[in-house]
A and B are shown apart, each in its own frame.
Chain A
Amino acid sequence: MRYFFVIILSLFFLYFISTVPPFLSIKHVIQPDLIIILVVFVCLNFNEIFNYIFSFIIGFFCDALTGTLFGFHSFIFLFISYITAKFGNFFYKERFLNRMLLVLISDLLYRFILVIMNFNESKSIITIFIFVFIIPVYTVFIYTIFHILNRLLKRIYVQR
């Protein structure tokens, strides 16, 4: 039941961020990859089998919404889940800095594969730079804000 709720809530979140294009974006250009944050969050908090199934399902929905090759997002998210699972074994994953690093690596990987996949489309170097480096950094920034908000809410809840 808990897993089912996570999937349903994630789908709601996915539909919400795909319907509101300028959601947390800077001038409609630099948009954070909230879906990567979601995938990493789920991968850090649930068991490995569920992570893979979750990534696979969410990836399909992402493909349908973004119009990429069917299975492309599943492929990347599965890879990210795998990295997260392995990462968790090597590092202390409860530490925030490690989580931040994980989001950054995942997003860089995702963006890098996207650029390679769309390599034949002519783009300027600045666009590629923004696409590959600036957006992941911004995503990490948003992730940090989420983390701070989460801590604040927890503190308020505990105080009450």
Chain B
Amino acid sequence: MRSRPKILFFSLFFLSILFMILSSKFTFYSFKNLLIYPVKPFNFFVDFIGLTFQNRKILKDDMTTIFQKNLEISRLKFLEYENQNLRNLLQMKDRFKHEVIFSEVVSQEKFAGEFLTIDKGRVDGVEEGMPVLSSKGIVGKVISVDRYSSFVETFNNSNFKVGVMDKERKLFMLCYFYKTGLLKVENVQYDSKLKIGDSIFTSGFGKIFPENIPVGIVVKIEFLEDGDFFYVIKPFENILSLKEVFLLKMDKEFYRNRYEKTKKQEIARLGWFTIYKRVFE
């Protein structure tokens, strides 16, 4: 008889432990709901008393104030984000010897972010071929300039190419467009030892982009059937959420000579639609 409470205690104790173990797999949702059900009249009663004592109009006014304050908070958060971005851009400005033109993205021409329109044009000194950068890294280059706006070809465009190098400046490679939001580095040396997570920087070859601008990180090494391989790069900048950019005035003569000699070469004609490729002489 004396051991009966002990037996009961241990059996209930193990039962509760069993329930704890089982509750990590099963939620016991309906059973819990059943146990909570009697609380509803209590809730109703407490709410009723609370609302009777509190003036309902005051409650409504409070709700409006809260809504307005939330709006204000979101506006301040956006301003803080913008401020931080602009500060980053100013820091980047000090890194370059060249003249810098700050600009804002006005629109994206396609959903995939192949082209951008920025609010600075010929009047502000923008030239075709100028590199477009952001606080995180490269964005693209200017391909056409109007009086007050310019058209930027981003790294999401299939024509995009940039000379890149690794951190130790040992490997010089060429980076192309791969998929939307991804770049690839092809024709790499067989003994290149880039790992996943390594950063890639511009090499400065081609004279469009200056040296040592961050491009992205290696996210994948893809092997082809013939044993060749290429690196998949994820750029640091996300074009779809880009707001502020800056352009570098590197070598005016170089851009002029280069872009005056460009020609459109017809690649394919699909009915009324023709695909062109830019060719440099």
Contact = CB atoms under 8 A, between A and B. Distances in A.
Interface of A: 11, 15-16, 18-20, 48-49, 52-53, 55-56, 59-61, 63-65, 69-72, 74-75, 78-79, 81-82, 85
A19 B35 contact: no
B23 A69 contact: yes
B16 A59 contact: yes
A49 B39 CA distance: 28
B12 A19 contact: no
A19 B43 contact: yes
Q: Which of A16, A55, A56, A72 has the most CB of B within 10 A?
A: A56
A116 to B, nearest CB: 13
A63 B9 contact: no
Given A16-B42, A19-B39, A65-B36, A71 B12 contact: no
B132 to A, nearest CB: 40
Counting chain B residues whose Cβ lies within 8 A of the other chain, the interface size class is 20 to 34
A112 B250 CA distance: 65
Interface in B37-51: 38-39, 42-43, 45-46
Contacts of A82: 9
- Interface residues of chain A: helix, strand, loop or mixed (majority): helix
B38 A11 contact: yes
B20 A70 contact: yes
24 contacts: A11-B38, A18-B39, A18-B42, A19-B39, A20-B46, A48-B5, A49-B5, A52-B12, A53-B8, A56-B12, A56-B15, A56-B16, A60-B35, A63-B32, A65-B39, A71-B16, A71-B19, A74-B12, A74-B15, A75-B16, A75-B20, A81-B9, A82-B9, A85-B5
A23 to B, nearest CB: 10
Q: Which of B4, B22, B24, B36 has the most CB of A within 10 A?
A: B36
Nearest to B26: A70
Contacts, number: 73
B13 interface: yes
A56 B17 CA distance: 11
Given A49-B8, A52-B5, A52-B9, A75 B17 contact: yes
Contact of A70 (B13, B23, B36, B38): B23
A139 B45 CA distance: 26
Given A70-B22, A71-B20, A78 B38 contact: no
Interface of B: 4-5, 8-9, 12-13, 15-20, 22-24, 28, 31-32, 35-36, 38-39, 42-43, 45-46
Contacts of B28: 70
Nearest to A60: B35
Contacts of B38: 11, 15
Contact of A69 (B8, B20, B35, B39): B20
Q: Which 10 A-B pairs have the closest CB atoms?
A: A71-B19, A64-B35, A70-B23, A74-B16, A19-B42, A71-B16, A48-B5, A71-B20, A75-B16, A64-B32
Contacts of B39: 15, 18-19, 65
A69 B23 CA distance: 6
A103 B8 CA distance: 23
Given A59-B16, A74-B16, A75-B13, A19 B36 contact: no
A87 B120 CA distance: 82
Given A70-B32, A74-B19, A79-B13, 16 more contacts: A11-B38, A18-B42, A19-B43, A19-B45, A19-B46, A52-B5, A61-B35, A64-B35, A65-B36, A69-B24, A70-B22, A71-B15, A71-B16, A72-B16, A75-B17, A81-B9
Contacts of B43: 19
A88 B16 CA distance: 24
A70 B5 contact: no
Contacts of A11: 38
